[in-house]
């Protein structure tokens, strides 16, 4: 295979990896379908920003998420899709037809060109290094007949591995084919497990995600206020859960202003809501023009980390708004931490996983890390909306 053919194959595979591993938002049928329609507007707003600032990969991912969500995922997996109003359907179709799809096609071509250049430049560097090594070897051999072993030379396959961090799961057709807009199906095989749930502790790494996240300002009193409303559950070793909601600042960054606590059924390692309870929570957020910026919960008798159940809950929030965070509080160990899932590992692994309840995932490289795009703001106060009463 020539260098040109290798570069073209590499570029196609990398775009395909993005489509298969970054663009399918898991749909929960218990989450009101109106939440997806309202929150997905943020995907377009974010994608537009990245498009105008020439951040092509980020923009391509977000436009593709929007297209996939409405063309495939909600139709196939949400029981209330037939009840969506004609106005909402037509509005989304118009966004896909006039903006999301044309821009995604344009960006796909630009990304392929970019990846080809990167591959060829990397290969050129490798060839130059190998040539230098050969010159050094020849010089050395002319001086003394010693035996030299050359190690760690990169092959073309190793070069590809440097870019593609996870194995590809090839699908029948490209998600955004210019001639066929029937979206392909991805592999949904769960990740193989190698360690115990008890070892699923938080990483100390700072977020290595490549996307440029906007800052989220967090009220300085958020931990204290949430612990106060969770006190009764904590005494019974029961989890308490709430949604982080807020708005945008004038500088287009986010700020958390509310915790909305729904009616819920808590246990010793999780809590859950019925469909009606989740609808009530998101209805409050929508009616008060708030944005869902993640969630917060307690670990009454454990340290802070994200369990498999937590990861499956969080992925929806972060794939709709990439800055969305998970705050975990451990009253027993006096710990509070803020987490985000990793783009290159956490999102593809969890979005493809079909398991539920407590299960296992390989956590190396990390599925989630400590968030690096948050700050505590003394000028913000957290408002608690407790819908349990």
Which domains does the chain carry? 3-120 (1.20.58.80), 214-386 (3.40.140.10)
119-151 pLDDT per residue, tens: 988 888 876 666 666 666 666 655 554 443 444
Mean pLDDT of the chain: 81
Q: Are strands 216-219 and 374-377 parallel, antiparallel or unpaired?
A: parallel
184-196 pLDDT per residue, tens: 333 333 333 332 3
Nearest to 164 by CA among 22, 311, 369: 22
So what's the pLDDT on residue 273?
79
Q: Spell out the residues 6+ positions from residue 203 whose beta carbon is closer than 8 angstroms to its own.
A: 363, 366, 368, 369, 370
So what's the pLDDT on residue 129?
64
pLDDT beyond 60 at 225: yes
Interval 281-301 mean pLDDT? 94
So what's the pLDDT on residue 267?
78
So what's the pLDDT on residue 190?
35
Q: What is the pTM of this model?
A: 0.76
Percent of the chain with pLDDT over 70: 78
So what's the pLDDT on residue 94?
97
Ramachandran assignment for 128, one of left (phi > 0), alpha (psi -120 to 50 degrees), beta (any other): alpha
Q: Which of 104-108, 262-266, 357-361 has the lowest mean pLDDT?
A: 357-361
Q: Spell out the residues 6+ positions from residue 142 whose beta carbon is closer than 8 angstroms to its own.
A: none
pLDDT beyond 50 at 74: yes
Percent of the chain with pLDDT over 90: 59
Interval 92-118 mean pLDDT? 96
Interval 300-319 mean pLDDT? 93
Q: Which of 89-98, 123-132, 157-166 has the lowest mean pLDDT?
A: 157-166
So what's the pLDDT on residue 171?
29
């Amino acid at each position: 295979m020539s260098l040109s053919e290798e570069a073209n194959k590499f570029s196609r595979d990398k775009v395909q990896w993005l489509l298969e591993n970054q663009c399918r938002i898991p749909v929960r049928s218990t989450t009101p379908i109106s939440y997806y329609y309202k929150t997905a507007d943020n995907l377009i707003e974010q994608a537009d920003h990245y498009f105008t600032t020439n951040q092509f990969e980020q923009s391509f991912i977000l436009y593709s998420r929007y297209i996939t969500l409405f063309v495939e995922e909600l139709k196939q997996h949400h029981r209330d899709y037939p009840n969506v109003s004609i106005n909402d359907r037509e509005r989304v179709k118009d966004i896909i037809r006039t903006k999301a799809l044309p821009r995604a096609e344009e960006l796909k071509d630009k990304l392929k060109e970019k990846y080809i250049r990167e591959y060829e430049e990397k290969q050129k560097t490798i060839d130059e290094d190998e040539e230098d090594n050969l010159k050094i070897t020849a010089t050395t051999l002319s001086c003394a007949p010693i035996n030299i072993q050359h190690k760690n030379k990169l092959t073309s396959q190793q070069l590809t591995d440097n870019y593609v961090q996870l194995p590809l799961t090839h699908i029948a057709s490209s998600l955004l084919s210019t001639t066929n807009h029937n979206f392909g199906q991805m592999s949904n095989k769960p990740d193989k497990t190698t360690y115990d749930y008890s070892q699923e502790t938080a990483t100390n790494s700072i977020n290595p995600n490549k996307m440029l996240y906007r800052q989220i300002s967090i009220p300085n009193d958020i931990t204290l206020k949430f612990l106060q409303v969770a006190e009764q559950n904590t005494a019974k070793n029961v989890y308490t859960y709430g949604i982080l909601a807020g708005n945008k600042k004038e500088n287009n960054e986010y700020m958390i202003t509310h915790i909305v606590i729904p009616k819920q059924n808590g246990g010793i390692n999780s809590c859950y809501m019925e469909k009606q309870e989740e609808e009530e929570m998101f209805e409050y957020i929508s009616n008060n023009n708030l944005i869902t910026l993640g969630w917060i919960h307690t670990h009454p008798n454990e340290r802070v980390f994200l369990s498999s159940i937590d990861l499956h809950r969080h992925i929806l929030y972060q794939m709709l708004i990439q800055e969305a965070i998970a705050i975990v509080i451990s009253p027993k160990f006096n710990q509070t931490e803020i987490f985000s899932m990793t783009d290159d590992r956490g999102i593809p692994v969890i979005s493809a996983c079909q398991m539920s309840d407590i299960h296992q995932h390989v956590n190396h490289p990390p599925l989630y890390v400590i968030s690096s795009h948050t700050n505590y703001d003394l000028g913000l106060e957290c408002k608690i909306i407790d819908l349990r009463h």
